[in-house]
Amino acid sequence: MKKLFKFSTSTVVASGIGAAIFMLLFMFVKIPSPVPQTSFMTAYGFALFIATLYGPIAGGLSAFIGHALSDAIQYGSPWWSWVIASGIAGFIYGLSYKFTNIEEGEFTGKDILKVNIFQIIGNVIAWLIVAPVLDIVIYAEPADKVFIQGVAATIMNIISAGVIGTLLLIAYVATKPKKGSLKKEE
């Protein structure tokens, strides 16, 4: 049985590699939106991929560290409200880890639905609640501005995770042999 909150060597390695790739995608592979300071971020599709394969700890750390490093490199310091929201989104994405059998070479339509329900919940919590509230509390940003940004980020990140993340998971599972498909020759 899969442990949801395992902290192993593979979790640490996946978190580090995930954070590095998330940071690069966050910095260089994005599409600006008409809403100020928001973009379509391909990084959230990758975060879903890492979180689904390695669990909530790897998902949360990858998104949190990757976003923090990206902000620090690009702007001089992280925008903590959104960095925290990224970590929460990645963590919630990873809750789907226990409900898939990807390592056994299975990723059915039901699995795709489960993974996407988790990512939708994660994005709604992160971008409609956490990021705007923390923007108001930490940075005294105007509520109307941050909630408009939150709605835009929610929609774009649901699409990014849903399309890019699902395609990455489908491609990954295609490389795995199905459980029981290999037989020993006698």
The CATH number covering residue 72 comes to 1.10.1760.20
Q: pTM of whole model > 0.75?
A: yes
Assigned domain for 1 exists: no
Range of the domain at 53: 13-174
Give the DSSP per-residue string, 9-36: HHHHHHHHHHHHHHHHHHHHSEEE-SST
> How many structural domains compose the chain?
1
What tens digit of pLDDT does each residue of 155-169 get? 999 999 999 999 999
The answer to whether residue 182 scores a pLDDT higher than 70 is no
The answer to whether residue 10 scores a pLDDT higher than 60 is yes
* Residue 7, pLDDT score: 79
* Residue 183, pLDDT score: 64
* Residue 103, pLDDT score: 84
Identify the band that residue 3 occupies on the pLDDT scale cut at 50, 70 and 90. Answer: confident
Assigned domain for 179 exists: no
Whole-number average pLDDT of the chain: 94
Non-local (6+) Cβ contacts of 51 within 8 A are 58, 59, 60, 62, 63, 90, 91, 93, 94, 96, 97
Q: Which residue has the higher pLDDT, 106 or 182?
A: 106
Assigned domain for 21 exists: yes
Assigned domain for 8 exists: no
Identify the band that residue 177 occupies on the pLDDT scale cut at 50, 70 and 90. Answer: confident
Identify the band that residue 147 occupies on the pLDDT scale cut at 50, 70 and 90. Answer: very high
Q: Above pLDDT 90, what percent of the chain?
A: 87
Assigned domain for 124 exists: yes
* Residue 180, pLDDT score: 66
What tens digit of pLDDT does each residue of 73-91 get? 999 999 999 999 999 999 9
Assigned domain for 5 exists: no
The answer to whether residue 176 scores a pLDDT higher than 90 is no
* Residue 19, pLDDT score: 98
Identify the band that residue 4 occupies on the pLDDT scale cut at 50, 70 and 90. Answer: confident
Assigned domain for 32 exists: yes
**Distance from C-alpha of 45 to C-alpha of 172, rounded to nearest angstrom:** 13
* Residue 184, pLDDT score: 64
Assigned domain for 43 exists: yes
| The Cα angle at residue 99 between residues 61 and 40, in degrees rounded to 5 | 50
Of 138, 10, 30, 153, nearest to 86 (Cα)? 153
